[in-house]
Amino acid sequence: MTNNTSATARVFCIANQKGGVGKTTTAINLSAGLAKLKQRVLLIDLDPQGNATMGSGIDKSALAHNLYDVLIGEATITQARVHSTNGGYDVLPANRELSGAEIDLVGMDERELQLKQAITSIATDYDFILIDCPPTLSLLTLNGLAAAHGVIIPMQCEYFALEGLSDLVNTIKRVHRNINPELSLIGLLRVMYDPRVTLQQQVSAQLESHFGDKVFKTVVPRNVRLAEAPSHGMPGVVYDPSSRGAQAYIAFGAEVIERVRANQSA
Protein backbone atom coordinates (compact mmCIF):
# COMPACT_ATOMS: atom_id res chain seq x y z
CA MET A 1 0.00 0.00 0.00
CA THR A 2 1.35 3.41 -0.93
CA ASN A 3 0.45 6.83 0.39
CA ASN A 4 -1.94 7.32 -2.47
CA THR A 5 -4.12 10.26 -1.53
CA SER A 6 -7.06 9.11 -3.65
CA ALA A 7 -7.31 5.69 -1.97
CA THR A 8 -9.69 5.34 0.96
CA ALA A 9 -8.65 4.00 4.31
CA ARG A 10 -9.18 0.43 5.44
CA VAL A 11 -11.29 0.72 8.59
CA PHE A 12 -10.81 -1.93 11.28
CA CYS A 13 -12.45 -2.33 14.69
CA ILE A 14 -10.36 -3.75 17.49
CA ALA A 15 -13.11 -5.52 19.40
CA ASN A 16 -13.81 -8.10 22.07
CA GLN A 17 -16.72 -7.80 24.48
CA LYS A 18 -14.49 -9.24 27.22
CA GLY A 19 -12.81 -6.61 29.37
CA GLY A 20 -9.06 -6.23 29.81
CA VAL A 21 -8.03 -8.54 26.97
CA GLY A 22 -5.65 -6.11 25.28
CA LYS A 23 -7.89 -4.19 22.86
CA THR A 24 -6.53 -0.75 23.69
CA THR A 25 -2.92 -1.96 23.87
CA THR A 26 -3.41 -3.49 20.42
CA ALA A 27 -5.14 -0.38 19.01
CA ILE A 28 -2.38 1.96 20.23
CA ASN A 29 0.55 -0.23 19.26
CA LEU A 30 -0.85 -1.28 15.90
CA SER A 31 -1.41 2.42 15.13
CA ALA A 32 2.16 3.25 16.11
CA GLY A 33 3.53 0.15 14.34
CA LEU A 34 1.72 1.09 11.11
CA ALA A 35 2.91 4.69 11.46
CA LYS A 36 6.50 3.40 11.71
CA LEU A 37 5.83 1.52 8.48
CA LYS A 38 4.95 4.86 6.83
CA GLN A 39 1.18 4.38 6.91
CA ARG A 40 -1.17 7.28 7.62
CA VAL A 41 -3.28 6.24 10.59
CA LEU A 42 -6.29 7.60 12.48
CA LEU A 43 -7.05 5.93 15.83
CA ILE A 44 -10.66 6.43 16.92
CA ASP A 45 -11.24 6.06 20.66
CA LEU A 46 -14.74 4.59 20.91
CA ASP A 47 -14.46 3.94 24.65
CA PRO A 48 -15.61 6.52 27.25
CA GLN A 49 -12.70 5.28 29.44
CA GLY A 50 -10.47 7.27 27.06
CA ASN A 51 -7.55 4.85 27.49
CA ALA A 52 -6.49 4.97 23.84
CA THR A 53 -6.52 8.77 24.04
CA MET A 54 -4.35 8.91 27.19
CA GLY A 55 -2.07 6.11 26.00
CA SER A 56 -1.37 8.16 22.87
CA GLY A 57 -0.16 11.05 25.05
CA ILE A 58 -3.32 13.17 24.71
CA ASP A 59 -4.91 14.65 27.85
CA LYS A 60 -8.55 13.54 27.77
CA SER A 61 -9.58 16.25 30.24
CA ALA A 62 -8.35 19.08 28.00
CA LEU A 63 -10.02 18.37 24.67
CA ALA A 64 -11.54 21.10 22.50
CA HIS A 65 -13.80 18.47 20.91
CA ASN A 66 -14.14 14.74 21.28
CA LEU A 67 -15.85 11.84 19.58
CA TYR A 68 -19.11 12.60 21.42
CA ASP A 69 -19.38 15.97 19.61
CA VAL A 70 -18.79 14.19 16.29
CA LEU A 71 -21.43 11.51 16.90
CA ILE A 72 -24.12 14.02 17.78
CA GLY A 73 -23.18 16.26 14.85
CA GLU A 74 -21.71 19.17 16.82
CA ALA A 75 -18.18 18.85 15.39
CA THR A 76 -16.53 17.29 12.36
CA ILE A 77 -13.67 14.80 12.59
CA THR A 78 -11.43 17.49 11.06
CA GLN A 79 -12.24 19.74 14.04
CA ALA A 80 -11.95 17.04 16.68
CA ARG A 81 -8.89 15.02 15.65
CA VAL A 82 -5.58 15.59 17.41
CA HIS A 83 -2.10 14.49 16.32
CA SER A 84 -0.25 12.14 18.65
CA THR A 85 3.32 13.38 18.35
CA ASN A 86 4.50 10.45 20.45
CA GLY A 87 2.73 7.88 18.29
CA GLY A 88 3.03 9.43 14.82
CA TYR A 89 -0.69 9.07 14.10
CA ASP A 90 -3.90 11.08 14.52
CA VAL A 91 -6.42 10.40 17.28
CA LEU A 92 -10.14 11.08 17.41
CA PRO A 93 -10.16 11.35 21.20
CA ALA A 94 -12.75 10.41 23.81
CA ASN A 95 -13.53 10.94 27.46
CA ARG A 96 -16.45 10.27 29.83
CA GLU A 97 -18.73 12.57 27.84
CA LEU A 98 -18.91 9.81 25.24
CA SER A 99 -21.00 7.65 27.55
CA GLY A 100 -23.82 10.19 27.03
CA ALA A 101 -23.84 9.32 23.33
CA GLU A 102 -25.46 5.97 24.13
CA ILE A 103 -28.55 7.89 25.26
CA ASP A 104 -28.44 10.78 22.81
CA LEU A 105 -28.09 8.49 19.80
CA VAL A 106 -31.20 6.48 20.65
CA GLY A 107 -33.52 9.25 19.45
CA MET A 108 -31.64 9.85 16.19
CA ASP A 109 -32.44 8.45 12.74
CA GLU A 110 -29.84 5.92 11.56
CA ARG A 111 -28.39 5.95 15.04
CA GLU A 112 -25.96 3.12 14.29
CA LEU A 113 -24.58 4.88 11.20
CA GLN A 114 -23.36 8.15 12.74
CA LEU A 115 -19.68 7.15 12.90
CA LYS A 116 -19.74 5.71 9.37
CA GLN A 117 -21.18 8.95 8.02
CA ALA A 118 -18.64 11.06 9.90
CA ILE A 119 -15.72 9.01 8.58
CA THR A 120 -16.71 9.45 4.92
CA SER A 121 -15.31 12.98 4.69
CA ILE A 122 -11.81 12.07 5.96
CA ALA A 123 -11.41 8.51 4.62
CA THR A 124 -8.95 9.57 1.94
CA ASP A 125 -6.68 11.24 4.52
CA TYR A 126 -5.55 7.86 5.84
CA ASP A 127 -4.34 4.39 4.88
CA PHE A 128 -5.81 2.88 8.05
CA ILE A 129 -8.51 3.91 10.49
CA LEU A 130 -8.46 1.80 13.67
CA ILE A 131 -11.35 1.87 16.13
CA ASP A 132 -10.71 0.95 19.77
CA CYS A 133 -14.04 -0.52 20.95
CA PRO A 134 -15.31 -0.63 24.54
CA PRO A 135 -15.80 -4.00 26.27
CA THR A 136 -19.52 -4.12 25.47
CA LEU A 137 -21.81 -4.85 22.55
CA SER A 138 -23.43 -1.43 22.91
CA LEU A 139 -24.72 1.18 20.47
CA LEU A 140 -21.21 2.67 20.44
CA THR A 141 -19.69 -0.67 19.42
CA LEU A 142 -22.45 -1.06 16.83
CA ASN A 143 -21.43 2.31 15.35
CA GLY A 144 -17.87 0.97 15.14
CA LEU A 145 -18.91 -2.28 13.47
CA ALA A 146 -21.21 -0.44 11.05
CA ALA A 147 -18.34 1.84 9.98
CA ALA A 148 -15.69 -0.87 9.53
CA HIS A 149 -14.50 -3.19 6.77
CA GLY A 150 -13.26 -5.69 9.28
CA VAL A 151 -12.71 -6.73 12.86
CA ILE A 152 -9.46 -7.63 14.58
CA ILE A 153 -10.05 -9.61 17.77
CA PRO A 154 -7.30 -9.60 20.36
CA MET A 155 -7.60 -12.49 22.79
CA GLN A 156 -5.85 -14.27 25.60
CA CYS A 157 -5.45 -18.02 25.26
CA GLU A 158 -7.57 -18.89 28.29
CA TYR A 159 -10.10 -21.57 29.07
CA PHE A 160 -13.25 -19.55 28.30
CA ALA A 161 -11.77 -17.68 25.34
CA LEU A 162 -13.38 -19.84 22.68
CA GLU A 163 -16.83 -19.55 24.24
CA GLY A 164 -16.69 -15.73 24.33
CA LEU A 165 -15.43 -15.78 20.78
CA SER A 166 -18.50 -17.49 19.37
CA ASP A 167 -20.72 -14.67 20.75
CA LEU A 168 -18.55 -12.10 19.03
CA VAL A 169 -18.37 -14.02 15.76
CA ASN A 170 -22.19 -14.30 15.80
CA THR A 171 -22.48 -10.55 16.38
CA ILE A 172 -20.18 -9.89 13.43
CA LYS A 173 -22.34 -12.18 11.26
CA ARG A 174 -25.51 -10.40 12.39
CA VAL A 175 -24.08 -6.94 11.68
CA HIS A 176 -22.84 -8.22 8.31
CA ARG A 177 -26.34 -9.46 7.47
CA ASN A 178 -28.40 -6.52 8.73
CA ILE A 179 -26.31 -3.36 8.72
CA ASN A 180 -22.95 -3.66 7.02
CA PRO A 181 -22.41 -6.23 4.25
CA GLU A 182 -18.76 -5.13 3.97
CA LEU A 183 -17.90 -6.32 7.47
CA SER A 184 -15.65 -9.36 7.81
CA LEU A 185 -13.47 -11.00 10.43
CA ILE A 186 -9.92 -9.95 9.59
CA GLY A 187 -8.30 -12.12 12.20
CA LEU A 188 -7.64 -13.24 15.75
CA LEU A 189 -4.57 -11.93 17.51
CA ARG A 190 -3.14 -13.91 20.41
CA VAL A 191 -1.96 -11.45 23.07
CA MET A 192 -0.37 -11.59 26.54
CA TYR A 193 0.89 -14.98 25.50
CA ASP A 194 3.08 -17.01 27.81
CA PRO A 195 4.39 -20.14 26.03
CA ARG A 196 5.41 -21.71 29.36
CA VAL A 197 1.77 -22.17 30.31
CA THR A 198 0.55 -25.48 28.92
CA LEU A 199 -3.11 -24.38 28.86
CA GLN A 200 -2.19 -21.38 26.71
CA GLN A 201 -0.38 -23.65 24.24
CA GLN A 202 -3.44 -25.89 24.09
CA VAL A 203 -5.92 -23.03 23.54
CA SER A 204 -3.61 -21.52 20.94
CA ALA A 205 -3.51 -24.82 19.05
CA GLN A 206 -7.33 -25.11 19.32
CA LEU A 207 -7.70 -21.63 17.86
CA GLU A 208 -5.51 -22.57 14.91
CA SER A 209 -7.48 -25.73 14.23
CA HIS A 210 -10.88 -23.95 14.49
CA PHE A 211 -10.05 -20.72 12.68
CA GLY A 212 -7.14 -21.70 10.39
CA ASP A 213 -5.60 -18.74 8.61
CA LYS A 214 -7.94 -16.32 10.43
CA VAL A 215 -5.42 -16.60 13.28
CA PHE A 216 -2.62 -14.09 12.77
CA LYS A 217 0.87 -15.58 12.67
CA THR A 218 2.18 -12.87 14.98
CA VAL A 219 1.82 -13.68 18.67
CA VAL A 220 2.14 -10.84 21.20
CA PRO A 221 3.94 -12.00 24.36
CA ARG A 222 3.16 -10.86 27.87
CA ASN A 223 5.65 -8.04 28.23
CA VAL A 224 5.83 -5.53 31.06
CA ARG A 225 7.13 -2.72 28.79
CA LEU A 226 3.77 -2.70 26.96
CA ALA A 227 1.98 -2.29 30.31
CA GLU A 228 4.31 0.49 31.49
CA ALA A 229 4.15 2.58 28.32
CA PRO A 230 0.66 4.16 28.78
CA SER A 231 1.71 5.85 32.03
CA HIS A 232 4.30 7.69 29.92
CA GLY A 233 1.67 8.63 27.33
CA MET A 234 3.45 6.54 24.71
CA PRO A 235 2.76 3.42 22.67
CA GLY A 236 5.04 0.56 23.79
CA VAL A 237 6.34 0.49 20.22
CA VAL A 238 7.80 3.99 20.82
CA TYR A 239 8.56 3.76 24.56
CA ASP A 240 10.88 0.75 24.19
CA PRO A 241 11.17 -0.22 20.53
CA SER A 242 13.60 -3.07 21.22
CA SER A 243 11.32 -4.82 23.76
CA ARG A 244 9.75 -8.11 22.71
CA GLY A 245 6.26 -6.62 22.96
CA ALA A 246 7.15 -3.70 20.69
CA GLN A 247 8.83 -5.98 18.16
CA ALA A 248 5.71 -8.17 18.06
CA TYR A 249 3.42 -5.21 17.35
CA ILE A 250 5.69 -3.94 14.57
CA ALA A 251 5.65 -7.42 13.04
CA PHE A 252 1.86 -7.40 13.45
CA GLY A 253 1.65 -4.09 11.56
CA ALA A 254 3.55 -5.66 8.67
CA GLU A 255 1.27 -8.72 8.77
CA VAL A 256 -1.86 -6.54 8.64
CA ILE A 257 -0.51 -4.62 5.62
CA GLU A 258 0.31 -7.92 3.92
CA ARG A 259 -3.15 -9.32 4.63
CA VAL A 260 -4.85 -6.22 3.21
CA ARG A 261 -2.73 -6.42 0.07
CA ALA A 262 -3.50 -10.13 -0.35
CA ASN A 263 -7.26 -9.44 0.01
CA GLN A 264 -7.16 -6.57 -2.47
CA SER A 265 -5.42 -8.64 -5.14
CA ALA A 266 -7.69 -11.68 -4.51
What is the binding site for ligand ATP (CB under 6 A)?
19-25, 47, 51, 135, 191-192, 220, 222-223, 226-227, 245
x/- track of binding to Mg ion for residues 40-59 (CB under 5 A): -----------x--------
Please, which residue, 24 or 200, has the CB nearer to ligand ATP?
Answer: 24
Least distance (Å) between residue 212 CB and Mg ion:
27
Contact 216, 189 (CB under 8 A): yes
Residue 220: name its binding partner from ligand ATP, Mg ion, none (Cβ under 5 to 8 Å by kind): ligand ATP
Distance CA 18, CA 164 (A): 7
Please, which residue, 125 or 158, has the CB nearer to ligand ATP?
Answer: 158
Distance CA 7, CA 151 (A): 20
Q: Is 24 near Mg ion (CB under 5 A)?
A: yes
Query: Between the CA of residue 64 and those of 60, 80, 84, 94, 206, what are the distances in Å?
Result: 10, 7, 15, 11, 47
Q: Are strands 82-84 and 41-45 parallel, antiparallel or unpaired?
A: unpaired
Least distance (Å) between residue 133 CB and Mg ion:
8
- Helices marked H in the chain: 23-36, 51-55, 67-71, 77-80, 101-106, 114-120, 139-147, 161-178, 198-211, 224-228, 236-239, 244-265
Cβ contacts of 223 within 8 Å, gap of 6 or more: 236, 243, 244, 245, 246, 248
Residue 25: name its binding partner from Mg ion, ligand ATP, none (Cβ under 5 to 8 Å by kind): ligand ATP
What is the number of the residue whose Cβ is closest to Mg ion? 24
Please, which residue, 25 or 200, has the CB nearer to ligand ATP?
Answer: 25
Least distance (Å) between residue 92 CB and ligand ATP:
16
Write out the H or E segment, with its range, that includes residue 220. Answer: strand 215-221
Please, which residue, 15 or 122, has the CB nearer to ligand ATP?
Answer: 15
Distance CA 53, CA 61 (A): 10
Q: Is 18 near Mg ion (CB under 5 A)?
A: no
Q: Is 23 near Mg ion (CB under 5 A)?
A: yes
Least distance (Å) between residue 166 CB and ligand ATP:
18
Distance CA 259, CA 265 (A): 10
Least distance (Å) between residue 252 CB and ligand ATP:
11
Residue 192: name its binding partner from ligand ATP, Mg ion, none (Cβ under 5 to 8 Å by kind): ligand ATP
Handedness of CA 126, 132, 137, 138 (dihedral sign): negative
Please, which residue, 75 or 87, has the CB nearer to ligand ATP?
Answer: 87
Contact 186, 130 (CB under 8 A): no
Please, which residue, 88 or 154, has the CB nearer to ligand ATP?
Answer: 154
Please, which residue, 20 or 73, has the CB nearer to Mg ion?
Answer: 20
**Residues binding Mg ion (CB under 5 A):** 23-24, 51
